[in-house]
Structure 1
Amino acid sequence: MAEIVLTGLAADDPVPGEYAQINFAVGELGIGNGQYYALLIGNLLSSGAGSTNTLYGPDTAVSMTSEQDAITLFGAGSELHRQVRRFLQINQTTPLYAIAVAEGDSATAATGTITITGPATSAGTLRIFIADEFCDVGFVTGDSATTVAAAAVTQINAKDHWPVTASNASGVITITTKQKGLRANFVRYFAKIIPFSGSGVGVTPTTSTLVTGGTVSDDISAVLTTIVARRFYYIAPAAQDQTQLVALFGQINTQALPLNNIRQRMVAASVDTLANTITIVDALNGARAEMVWLQNSDMPPCEMAAHNAAVYALEESPFPPKLNFNFYGDGQNDQWRIKAPLSGTAPTRSQIKAALNAGVTPIGVRTSGRTYLVKRITTRYKNGSVVDYRIRDAHKVTVCDRYADDLQAKQAAQLRGSLLADDPKKNEPIVSGGSTNKVVTPRVVKALVDRLTDDYAEDAMLQNAADIKKGTQVQRSGVNSNRVNVSIPLQPIDVLDQIANEINQVA
C-alpha cells in the first residue's frame, strides 16, 4: 500500500496532533464539534469609534453583539453597520464578528440627483427609493419644488441606517454616499409621484439608477493579517474587485491545509452583469468560495453577501445541517429577505443555466415578484481547462468539513495519550497496556472512523457507507513509526435537483 501523504506534514515532523486534509473532487472525473462563527468585512465611517483592522465580536476586548454596537463602532449607515444589520435581521444564533478595512487612499464618494418640479396643484406624495427601501414625503397644493425637496431631504437624512445623505438646492436633491470608494457606485435610487399625474409635481429619475463617481478600491491585506490565526467559518466580504476576493480566498485555502487546520468559506455577492461576475468566479474557481448573483438588485452586494451568509449559518447550525437550498425563499422561509429588482429585470432561464455552469449561485425572480435561491453552489467548476462539477454542490463542502471536525475531535478524545502498535497477526495476542497505557493499532483507528461514517450515513449526510468503509485505508506509516495514516473516500449525499416526468396521452 502506498504511503498516505498530507500536504506540509513531513515524515520527520514530530509535533503531536490530529491532522486532516480534505481533497475535493478526487478520483476519476465522472455539524460537528467545530466552531462555525461568521465574519463580516467592510468599511467604517469616521463617525464610528472603532478602528480599522481590529476584530470586534462577542468575546473581543470591545464587544459587538448588537446593531447598536455596530453603529457605535462603525458609524450609522456605514458599510459594516448595514452588513451587521442585514445579518442580525436573519440570524441571531451564529456568533458574529466584524472587521473594518480602511477606505482606499483618496477615495471619493458617489452621488446622484433627484430633480423635483412644481408647484403642486393638488396634494400628493413623493416616494423616494434608496437601495431596497423607500420613504414617503407628502405635499399640498401650492408647495414649490424647493419646499417638496427640502421635506424629502429631511426624511432621507432621518434614516440613519441608509447609506446616503441628502441636500437640496432649488428643488434638486443631491444624494451622496456615506462610504467612499468604488463599491459606493452600487447604491441605487429613483423616485415617483403618487398619484402618477395631476398633482403638478414632477420628478426624475423615475427608474432605478446607480449613483456614480465613487473611485478607488480598498486594500484587504492588513485585515487578512489580523484574522489569519482565527477560524471564521462563514466569511462575507464587501469586496467586489477580483484582487481583494482572490487575496482573501487564497488565505482561506492556505489556512485549510493540515498544519494550519483552519477550514473556512467565503460568501461573496454580485449585482453586476453575469459576464463580469463569471470573470471574477473564474479567478476563484474553488470549493471554499461562493458567489451569489442577482443582476440589478437594489440590495448592495456587500449586504447581499451578509444576508446569504446569515441564512447559510442559521440553517447549518443544527446537526444534521440543512443540505439542500434549492428554491430557498419560495416557501415559508421568513428569513429570506431579498427583494426583486425594482427595475423589473430578472434572470432568464438561459442565464440561470449559464450561471450554474460557471460557478455562480443565481437568485431567481418569480412573476409574483418573489425571489428565491435557485441552487447553492461553489465557484469550483473547472479542473484546469476541463469542466469538472464534482464539487459544484456547496453542501458537499459542509459535509466534508463537519466530518473532518468530528473525526479530529473524536480522535483527540479517544486516542490521545495512547501507545501505537501494529495490528496483531493471526493467533497473536492483542497488545494491552494495562490500566496505565492504552495501546492503539490501525484496526482500532479504523473502527473509530467507520463508526463516524455510519453515524453520518444515518443522519443522511453520506451515501454508500459500506463502500466508504470498504475503501477507507488505515496504515501505520512506513517512514514515521509514530504516525497512523488514514484515507477516507467520503461520499456526501446528493441533493434532489430535478424530477423529469414524461406524460403520454394514449387514449
Structure 2
Amino acid sequence: MSEIVIDGYSDADKIPGFYAETKYGAGPINLQTIPLILLLVGLLATGAVMTPDVDVMEATSKEDAEFWAGRGGELSRMAYKAFDQGLSGVKLMLASAAPAAGAVAATATITLNNIASTTGTIKYRVGGELVDVLIPANTSPNDAATLIATRFSQFPRLAVTATVAANVVTLVVRSAGERGNDFILWQDATKKPAVMTSTIAGGALVTGGGVRFAGGVGVESLSLLTALLFPARYHRLAIAQNDATSAATWEAHIDAKAGVLEGRMEHPVLGHNGTLSSATSIAQTTLNNPRCQLVWLLNSETHPSELAAAMAARRASKEQTQPNSGYDGAVLKTCAPQAARADWPNRTTQQSALDSGVTPLTTNEQGQVVVIRAITTRSLDGNTPDYRTLDVSEAVVPDYVRDRLRIVWVTEFLIANPNVAPDPLPGEKDRPEGVGTPKLWSQRAHAELQKMEKERILTQVDLAQNRPISTWNNAGKRIMSAVPVVPLPIQHAIGVSIRQTALAA
C-alpha cells in the first residue's frame, strides 16, 4: 500500500491530538446511478416558449413540455408519449429546429351534407385519439360542421386545429411541414344522424377507410440544431425527422460524437408508418448503423415521431439499470392500435423487417401496440447480410463498457497511478506503486469485465481471446488497450420437439 498523505498535516508536527480530513466521493462511481438523458427532437407549436436552434430545455411533466414546446405540437406530443411510458431515472430534454422556410401545414377535411333527420353521433380519430360529436336532429350541414369544429377545440392536446367554411371542417396540423402528412383521419359514422352524410378527405386512403393528411410541405434544416447539440451528450434520442436526408444527417452527427476524441455515444430512434419498403429504405439504405433504431407500424394512427418517443422512453428507462435488455412483446403504452387487422404484420412480413434492419411493431388482441423484437438498423456489410449487431443490446453494451472503463480509469486507476511506464523488461524490477503499466491496466479492466459478467451484461470474459490486451505506446507515453466484449445474448426463442410415444408395458 502506498504511503498515506494528508494535505496540511506535516511530518514535522509534534503536537498531540487527533487530526483528520474528510474526502468526499472516495469510492468508485456506479455508472448506473448516473441518469441517462433522453432527448426528444421535433417541431414546436404556437405558444412555445423555447427558441428553435437555440434552447435545449428539460421537461419534468407533460405540462412542462407543452409550456416549452407549445401545446399539441409535434415535440410536445412526443413528450406526452414518452411520459406515458413511465419514465424512471431518466432526464428528459427537448430540442427543436426552426421550421423550413415556407413550410405548409398538412390538412384533411370533413364535409357534411344534408340536414340531420334524427339525433346521432359521429366519431372521428386523429393521431389515434377519439373525438365524438353529438349532432341533434334538424341540424344543418354547416351547423353540424361547427359542432364538429367546436368539439375538436375541446381537446387542446390534439395534433390539429379545426376551422369551418361552407359545411366543411378543415383540420390543420399544428406543426407545419411534410411530416404532418403522416397523420391519419378516421371516422365511424355507423350511428350518424339519418340522412346526413360525413365524408373525410385528404391524401392517400389507408386500409379500412381512413385517409392520410395531405399538403404538408417542408423539412427543416438540421445544421444549426446539430451544431447546438454537438458539445453535450444525450444517451438516447427520439427523432421526428424520418426522411432520408435528415436521417443521414443524424447518422453523421452521432458517428462524429462517438468518435475516439469525442466519446459521447448516443443511440437514436426513428419512426415510420408507411410501407415496409419505405421503412427499409431508411433503415437499411440510409442508416445501416448499429446505434440507430427504426420502429415501424404500418398505417399507425399514432404519429411516427410519437412511436419513436415511446420506444426511446422504454429503452432509456430500462437501460438505465440494465444495458443488456430485450424488448420482445414490450407494450408501447397509449400508442393507438392499428385500425385494420389486415395491417398487422404476418410472420413473413416480420421476418422481412428483421432481415432489413427494421424493428417491427404490431397490434395484439388486447388492442395494444407491442414490439416484435428491438433491433438496430445494421443489416448489411456492403451487399453481404451482417447481423453481428442485431439486437439493440448488442450496440448498447459495448458503449456501456466503454463508459464504465472510462469511469474506472478516471476515478480509480489514474488516481492510484499518477505515473505510467511500460511493463518491466526481463531482469527489471517491478514498477513501484503508483505507476500504471499495460499489464496492470489489463488486469483492472478484466476485473471490471468479470463484474459485468455477474451482472448479466457480458459473457465469456475469461476466454483467452476475450481478455484485454494492452501495449505500450512509446511515442505517446501511454497505454493502448483492446478490450473484446461479448454481450450476453437475450433469449428470444426456443425450439422444442414434442414426441408422443407408446404406453410402456
Provide the TM-score with structure 1 as the length reference: 0.86
| Corresponding residue number in structure 1 for 2:84 | 89
* Counterpart residue type for residue 38 of structure 1: L
Q: Give CA-to-partner distance per residue, 1:342-373, whole Å, 9 cap, x none.
A: 24421121111111001000002234533310
CA distance in 2 between counterparts of 1:288 and 1:109 reads 32
Instruction: Output one character per residue of 1:36-78: Cα deviation in whole Å (capped at 9) or x when no partner.
Output: 21111111134322211123333xxxxx433223323322211
For the Cα contact (< 8 Å) 1:128–1:134, is it kept in 2? yes
The alpha carbon displacement at 1:470 in A equals 5.3
Alignment-derived partner of residue 497 in structure 1: 492
Asked if the contact 2:239–2:270 (Cα under 8 Å) also holds between the matched residues in 1, the reply is yes
**Counterpart check, 1:294 vs 2:297:** yes
* 2:144 corresponding residue in structure 1: 148
Supply the distance in 1 between the matched residues of 2:114 and 2:388 (Cα, whole angstroms).
61
Paired residue total: 460
Does the residue aligned with 2:175 lie in a helix, a strand or coil? strand
Residues 110, 212 of structure 1: 8 Å contact kept: yes
Q: 1:152 to 1:468 in 2, by over 3 A?
A: farther
The reply to whether residue 390 of structure 1 matches residue 385 of structure 2 is: no
Secondary structure of 2:462's counterpart equals helix
Output aligned runs, 1:394-405, within 5 Å: 394-405=392-403
The letter of the residue matching 2:177 is G
- Please, which of 258, 268, 274 is the counterpart of residue 266 of structure 1? 268
Going from structure 1 to structure 2, the CA distance change for 1:313 and 1:500 (only over 3 Å counts) comes to same
After TM superposition, the structure 1 = structure 2 runs for residues 89-128 of structure 1, keeping only pairs within 5 Å, are 89-93=84-88, 94-128=90-124
1:20: which partner in 2?
Answer: none
Superposed CA RMSD: 2.0
Amino acid at match of 1:379: T
1:55 and 1:97 in contact (8 A); partners too:
no
Question: Any idea what the Cα deviations from partners look like across 1:320-341, whole Å, max 9, x if unmatched?
Answer: 3451111212xxxxx6332222
After TM superposition, give the deviation of residue 428 of structure 1 in Å: 5.0
Tell me, which stretches of 5 or more residues in structure 1 are unaligned? 1-30, 59-63, 330-334
Q: 1:336 aligns with which of 333, 338, 343?
A: 333
Which one of 289, 292, 308 corresponds to residue 311 of structure 2?
Answer: 308
After superposition, the C-alpha distances for 1:222-249 in whole angstroms (9 at most, x for unaligned) are 1001001110011111102111111111
Q: Distance in 1 between matches of 2:76 and 2:329?
A: 29
What are the equivalent positions in structure 2 for 1:66-465 lying under 5 Å apart?
Answer: 66-93=61-88, 94-195=90-191, 199-205=194-200, 207-281=209-283, 282-318=285-321, 320-321=322-323, 323-329=325-331, 336-344=333-341, 345-416=343-414, 418-424=418-424, 429-433=429-433, 438-465=434-461
Q: Unmatched 5+ residue regions in structure 2?
A: 1-30, 201-207
Matched to 2:392, the amino acid is A
TM-score normalised by L of structure 2: 0.86
SS in 1 for 2:220: coil
Amino acid at match of 1:466: D
Q: Which string of whole-angstrom CA distances, capped at 9 and with x for unpartnered residues, describes residues 3-62 of structure 1?
A: xxxxxxxxxxxxxxxxxxxxxxxxxxxx6476521111111134322211123333xxxx
What's the offset of the Cα at 1:148? 2.2
Q: Could you say which structure has the greater relative contact order, defined with CA pairs below 8 angstroms and 6 or more residues apart?
A: 1
Distance in 1 of aligned mates of 2:467 and 2:340: 53
Match of 1:47 in 2: 47
**Structure label with greater radius of gyration:** 2
Residue deviations 1:176-225 (CA, integer Å, cap 9, x gap): 112211111111112223536x7333322382111111112211111001
Displacement of 1:425 = 5.2
Aligned partners of 2:44 and 2:69 also within 8 Å: yes
Residues 52 and 95, structure 2, Cα contact 8 Å, conserved in 1: yes
**Deviations 1:94-130 (Å, cap 9, x if unpaired)?**
1111111111111111111112234333322121111
Work out the CA distance in 2 between the residues paired with 1:471 and 1:317. 26
Identity value in percent: 24
Counterpart contact for 1:48–1:72, Cα < 8 Å: yes
Counterpart CA distance in 2 for 1:83 and 1:301 is 9
1:337–1:67 CA distance, 2 compared to 1 (3 A) = closer
